[in-house]
A and B are shown apart, each in its own frame.
Chain A
Amino acid sequence: MAKPESAVLWIETSENQEGRERFPLSGAEIVIGRRSDVDILLTHPLVSRQHARIIREERPAEDPSAGPVFVVLDLQSSHGTWVNDVRVDRHVLRPGDRIRLGQQGVELRYSEGEESRAGSRTDTATSMLEAAGIERAARRLASVLPEESTEAHSELEKISCLLDFHYYFGKAFSAEKTFQHILKSALGISGAERGFILRKQRGRFAYALGLDHLGNLLSESEFHTSGSVVDRVAGGGQPVFMTQGIHGELAGSESIVAMNLRAVACLPLEALSQESDAAVVTGILYLDSRKHMHSLSGLDEKLLTRLAGEAGHVLEKLEMVVTLAEQRRIEQELAIAEETQRSLLPRSLPQAEPFHIRAFCRPTRQLGGDFYDFISVQGGELTGLLADVSGKGIPAALLSSLTLGALNMEFRSSRPPNEVLNGVNKLLCIKTPAHRFVTLFLFQVGPDGKGHFISAGHNPAYLFRAASGAVEELPSGGIPLGMFPFATYQPVALELNPGDVLVVYSDGLTEAENEAQEDFGEERVRSIIREAAPRGAEHLETKLLGELDGFTQGAAQTDDITFLLIENRG
């Protein structure tokens, strides 16, 4: 016979394999019983306070050469210690022996060697459910146990439900999985037939998941319960237990009567409010049964309440995870849209003697709708445009694409710019709602500097005159594109003489704000142009950006900042 250097007691806590708990035996004496100071605590009515003892004997009296062995001794228990269905006072344990505390009581199995039965529980949860851990938890929780619990049979099972939940608690990835674990644990503890989790959405509690005691999913249509119970829990934040039959004012509740419910438990799932330290009810755990919930003792209520507390924290965490995932998703979408928008801008600036061109665009994080482009037309004229699309985000980026596509298409048909804009305006009126529009500044100049511009509701462009040092305004003569189908656009003459610089910009430049919410302003832009333009477009660009950054001091940018500088170097 193998020497039992190490042996294990398997405690049968339920019918299934999951219910087996192992308790390693060492050399020390083990006392089994219902009292809180014993080594293996089993809260079953047939178990005496100090029921049995297991000791290690080096030389058992029965057969001195067989030692060492483990021996079970009855401690004059009321219901007896039974080994393999025979009542014993003393018994030398052999592998496979079934020890029963009380003839119908809790069963323990004796085996030798650590691994002899390990196959029944190989998952990592085993580590959580190490016998020592179970025992500690049982000891702690047993202190709340009523002295004469009527349903002590499955206390360990219930405790393991809670411990199981602890284990999954750290591994919650999806809302549905988490809800399933909460419900499984709650159904296990309460013995209820059905469990539901409600989550607060837009101010009311709505079905999130349902599960029956066999593990089947229950759909939302199967959730019809007493609104009064849910309201009471949601309002007061206190759990409601009605497990010895429905009583009080709720007994008259139509839905409870209609469903023939015999037991209801409803608990708040609370999280700390973001605004204050007060707990807010973010979800509700609801359990019911047509039978009595067989075993809702004081312990069960405490376990359930504790489970609900843990579940509340999980919901809170989950909320944060969902929010983060949502943010990541939005950021990804924005990144794609940003890429799209960047791809709308020309990769290189045209070479068009005698003009020297600088272009700058700093989009916001929110994705605005500024764009500029240079369009090659027959005749060698330089045609450029800068546009600002209303709104932000993806709708703005889409409108940018639509506008740019329409402009290119219309220009390809070699029509004059005013006709191009008339056509684009009509198209945008049809394709977009009235509150979405595009302001646009378009200019066309030949090598001799002569040409024209059309502004469709765009901020006045500035024209630096080298001869006089003055800054002229080129105001809009038309309304923005996409508002009214009856709008028409007329070109206005423009002449860029040598040394002159044309500055076309979006309102993101003039309306850039500092922390005090003051605008960068048109006056400031004009004075920078007056000072810096005589030294050319590059210098002007550097000065504009330097002054702008000095002004905003890193305050959040709220709109795209875009400008084009066209210098006649002839």
Chain B
Amino acid sequence: MSLKLNSRLVDDVTVLDVSGRITLGEGSSVIRDTVHDLAAKGTKKILLNLGEVTYIDSSGIGELVSGYTTMANAGGTLKLLGLTKRVKDLLQITKLYTVFDVHEDEAHAVRSF
């Protein structure tokens, strides 16, 4: 299944529910483009929910980093929610968990902004 993205607002946090595969060539730039658009519209708080992500490759990791950087450059924050084992492992290998603020619980994540 290719990548799907849904946007919803919880308090003042935009939650992006991602499902499917985040890989090279399967619409992985959707995340990058969506975050970019949101940042341009002045959104400051984005919570990327990766609970339904079935597979991610290293290009997919690049998309997460791109989203993070875009928000940081716009004076906002991007956090991650609900990592599957695969995403966790990759963030572990690449030491990126030291950069991302990662949460297990949505309510808790929304409050943390």
User: A-side interface residues toward B, CB under 8 Å?
Assistant: 388, 390-392, 433-437, 439, 457-460, 475-480, 483-484, 507
The answer, yes or no, to whether B62 is at the interface (CB within 8 Å) is yes
CB-based contact A390/B59 at 8 Å: yes
Does A479 contact B98, Cβ atoms closer than 8 Å?
A: yes
Q: A479, B99: Cβ atoms under 8 Å?
A: yes
Please list 26 pairs of residues, one from A and one from B, whose beta carbons are closer than 8 Å in the complex, sorted by A's number. Answer: A390-B62, A391-B62, A392-B24, A434-B66, A434-B68, A435-B29, A435-B32, A435-B59, A435-B65, A435-B66, A437-B62, A437-B65, A439-B58, A457-B95, A457-B96, A458-B93, A460-B93, A476-B93, A476-B95, A479-B95, A479-B96, A480-B94, A480-B96, A483-B69, A483-B96, A484-B69
Contact flag A391-B69 (CB < 8 Å), given A457-B95, A479-B99: no
Contacts A435-B65, A483-B65 given: A391-B98 contact, CB under 8 Å?
A: no
In the complex, how many angstroms separate the beta carbon of A406 from the nearest chain B beta carbon?
Answer: 19
* Measured CA separation A222–B65 after assembly (Å): 49
Q: Determine whether B77 belongs to the interface, using a CB cutoff of 8 Å to chain A.
A: no
Chain B: CB-nearest residue to A478: B95
Inside 8 A of A479's CB, which chain B residues have their CB?
94-96, 98-99
Contact A439 B62 (CB under 8 A): no
Of A392, A435, A457, A477, which contacts B63 at CB under 8 A? A435
Q: Tell me which of B24, B95, B99 contacts A477 (CB under 8 A).
A: B95
**B86-113: which residues lie under 8 A (CB-CB) from chain A?**
93-96, 98-99
Question: What is the interface of chain B mostly: helix, strand, loop, or mixed?
Answer: helix
- Assembled-state Cα–Cα distance A327/B66 (Å): 31
- Which of B24, B58, B68 contacts A507 (CB under 8 A)? B58
Q: Does B70 lie at the interface of the complex (its beta carbon under 8 Å from any beta carbon of A)?
A: yes
CB distance from A371 to the nearest CB of B (A): 15
Residues in A whose Cβ lies below 8 Å from that of B96: 457, 479-480, 483
Of the residues A388, A476, A477, contact of B58 by C-beta under 8 Å: A388
CB-based nearest B residue for A477: B95
Q: What is the CB-to-nearest-CB distance from B38 to chain A, in angstroms, rounded to a whole number?
A: 16
In the assembled complex, which residues on chain B have CB atoms less than 8 Å from the CB atom of A434?
62, 65-66, 68-70
Q: Please, how many angstroms separate the alpha-carbon atoms of A433 and B93 in the complex?
A: 21
Question: What total of chain B residues lie within 8 Å of the partner, measured CB to CB?
Answer: 20
Nearest residue in B to A429 (C-beta to C-beta)?
Answer: B69
- The answer on a CB contact under 8 Å between B99 and A484 is yes
- Residues B53-79 near A (CB distance < 8 A): 58-59, 61-63, 65-66, 68-70
Chain A residues, Cβ within 8 Å of B65: 434-435, 437, 483-484
> How far, in Å, is A457 (CB) from chain B's closest CB?
4
Q: Is B62 a contact of A436 with CB atoms below 8 Å?
A: yes
Residues of A within 8 A of B24 (CB): 391-392
Bound CA span A335–B25, Å: 21
3 smallest A-B Cβ distances: which pairs?
A435-B62, A457-B94, A435-B66
15 further interface pairs, Cβ-Cβ under 8 Å (given A390-B58, A457-B93, A480-B96):
A388-B58, A390-B59, A390-B61, A390-B62, A391-B24, A433-B66, A434-B62, A434-B70, A435-B32, A435-B62, A476-B93, A479-B95, A483-B62, A484-B99, A507-B58
Q: Which of A437, A458, A507 has the most CB of B within 10 A?
A: A437
Question: In the complex, which residues of chain B have a beta carbon less than 8 angstroms from the beta carbon of A392?
Answer: 24-25
How far is the CB of B66 from the nearest CB of chain A, in Å? Answer: 4
* Residues of A with C-beta under 8 A to B93: 457-460, 475-476
In whole angstroms, how far apart are the Cα atoms of A391 and B61 in the complex?
11
| A517 shortest CB reach to chain B, Å | 10
Docked pose: A484 CA to B64 CA in angstroms: 12
Once bound together, how far apart are the Cα atoms of A480 and B63, in whole Å? Answer: 13
Q: Nearest Cβ in chain B — how far from A460, in angstroms?
A: 7
User: Inside 8 A of B99's CB, which chain A residues have their CB?
Assistant: 479, 483-484
Minimum Cβ distance to chain B for residue A224 (Å): 35
Quote the shortest CB–CB distance from A475 to chain B (angstroms).
8
- Report how far A436 CA is from B58 CA in the complex, Å: 10
In the bound complex, how far is the Cα of B66 from the Cα of A477, in angstroms?
21
Nearest-neighbour CB distance to chain A for B28, whole angstroms, equals 8
Q: How far is the CB of B9 from chain A (nearest CB, A)?
A: 25
A475 cross-chain contacts in B, Cβ below 8 A: 93
Report Cα–Cα, A437/B57, bound state, in Å: 13
Task: Return A293 CB to nearest CB of chain B, in Å.
Answer: 49
| Complex Cα–Cα for A416 and B94 (A) | 22
Q: How far is the CA of A527 from the CA of B62 in the complex (A)?
A: 31
- A458–B96 Cα distance when bound, in Å, is 11
**Please, how many angstroms separate the alpha-carbon atoms of A510 and B32 in the complex?**
27
How far in angstroms is the closest Cβ of chain A from B60?
Answer: 9
Report chain B residues within 8 Å CB of A480.
Answer: 94, 96
Instruction: Identify the closest chain B residue to A369 (Cβ).
Output: B58
